[in-house]
Amino acid sequence: MLHITCIACISFYFCVLIPVSKSIATTSSPYLVHSGMKYAGNPNIDSATASHLYFVYIYKNYMIIHSLVKVMIIGLLGPEGTYSEKAARELNVKARFKFFDDLEDVIESVLTREVDCGVAPIENSLEGSIGITMDALKEYNICIIGEVIVPIRHCLLSKGHMEDIKVILSHSQALAQCRKFIRGHFKDIKIQTTGSTSHAAKLTSEFPGMAAIASRESAQKYGLDILADNIQDYKENYTRFVVLGNNIPEATGHDKTSIIIHLGHDRSGALYDLLGEFASGNINLTKIESRPSKMGLGDYLFYIDMEGHRSDRNISVALNNIEKIVDWVKIIGSYPSAIKNTKQN
C-alpha cells in the first residue's frame, strides 16, 4: 500500500504540480512574489531545489491548484439570475455553481462540505444586515474567507404592460429597497415575497399579470421585459456578500478581520475599554454593530470588522488583551478585503 501511495504521489508531482508550476511561472500572476516561486530561474538554486520549492509553494497555495486541476463548487442562493450569482461570478467565473432554494441550505452545504465554499449576503447599504448570515457565523463552525461587494440595480420585470400588473413579487430585501417606487406606482397592488429575486422573475415569466423586482440578468434569463430600471429608492445601493468556508486563509497584505464579542457583565465603561484596545493598537475599525444575543432582553453581541489580518502583531495583541476583559470572543474570519465595484449594468 505504501509503495502504491508513493507512486501516486510521485506521478501527481511530476504530471500535475510541476507543469502547473511552470505554467504559473510564465504568467504575470501576483502570486509570484510569494514563497519559493521567487527563486524560479535563480542561477544560485539548483533544479532539484527549485522543483521542491515549486511543490511547497503550490501546496501552500491550495486555491490555485484547486482552480486549475479541479473545478471549484460554489453554493449560492438560486435559481439562476440572483445577485448572489453575480457575486459568485466575480469570485470565480470558472467555478461550478450549485443553487439552493434558501440561505440556510447554502450555509448547510458549507458545513457538510457539499461545496467548496458558499456565497451569502451579509449586509445591504439600504436595509442593513442579513440576520440569517450573521447568526450562522456565531452558531456554526464556519468562517468568512472572502468578500464581494455588488452594486444592486433593481428592475421591474414583466411579460405584460404596467397597466396589466396585478401582483408584484420579489425577495423581502428587494421589496424593502424599492418601497417608495412601489408605493408611488402600485399603491393598491398585491405584494408577494419569494425566496429570491430570480425566483420572482421565474414565476413572473408564467403570468402576464405578474411583475417581478429583480436584476437585468433575470430579465434576460427568463424572457421578461424591463418596464422600469433602477427603481431602488436610493442610487447608492450595494450588497456585501461574504464567502463562507471552513479554514481561514493566510494574510495577503490587504485584509480584513471580523469578530464577534459578548461583553458579559453590564458595567460602566465596558465598551469604552473594548474600543480602547483597538485605538492603542492603531487598528481601524470598518464596522461595529450590536445584535441581540438571544440570551435575554437587553443582552447584545458586537460584530466588529477591522483592517488587517489576525496574524498581524497589532491585531494579535489587541485580541489577546480583549479576551481578558470580555465574556468571549469569536474570530469569524480574516480574509482579503473587497474593492467596491461601482460599475452599473
Identify the residue whose cell numbers are 431602488. 232
Strand partners, 116: none
Task: For 118-129, give one letter per residue: b (16+ CB within 10 A) or e.
Answer: bbbbbbbbbbeb
The active-site residue out of 239, 257, 278, 302 is 239
Q: Is 239 a catalytic residue?
A: yes
CA distance 21 to 26: 9
- What are the cell numbers at 31? 502570486
Give the CA distances from residue 76 to residues 6, 79, 111, in Å, rounded to whole numbers and listed in that order: 38, 9, 13
Instruction: List all residues 6 or more positions away from 307 whose beta carbon is below 8 Å from its beta carbon.
Output: 255, 256, 257, 283, 284, 286, 337
CA distance 83 to 241: 9
Q: Is 100 a catalytic residue?
A: no
Instruction: Calculate the CA 31 to chain-centre distance.
Output: 21
Give the CA distances from residue 11 to residues 16, 57, 251, in Å, rounded to whole numbers and listed in that order: 8, 18, 31
- The torsion of the CA quartet 91, 97, 102, 106, rounded to 10 degrees, works out to -70
Backbone φ, ψ for residue 109 (5° rounding): -65, -30
The active-site residue out of 97, 100, 241, 302 is 241
Give the CA distances from residue 110 to residues 84, 100, 118, 120, 281, in Å, rounded to whole numbers and listed in that order: 15, 12, 6, 11, 34
- The torsion of the CA quartet 152, 155, 156, 157, rounded to 10 degrees, works out to -110
Active site residues: 239, 241
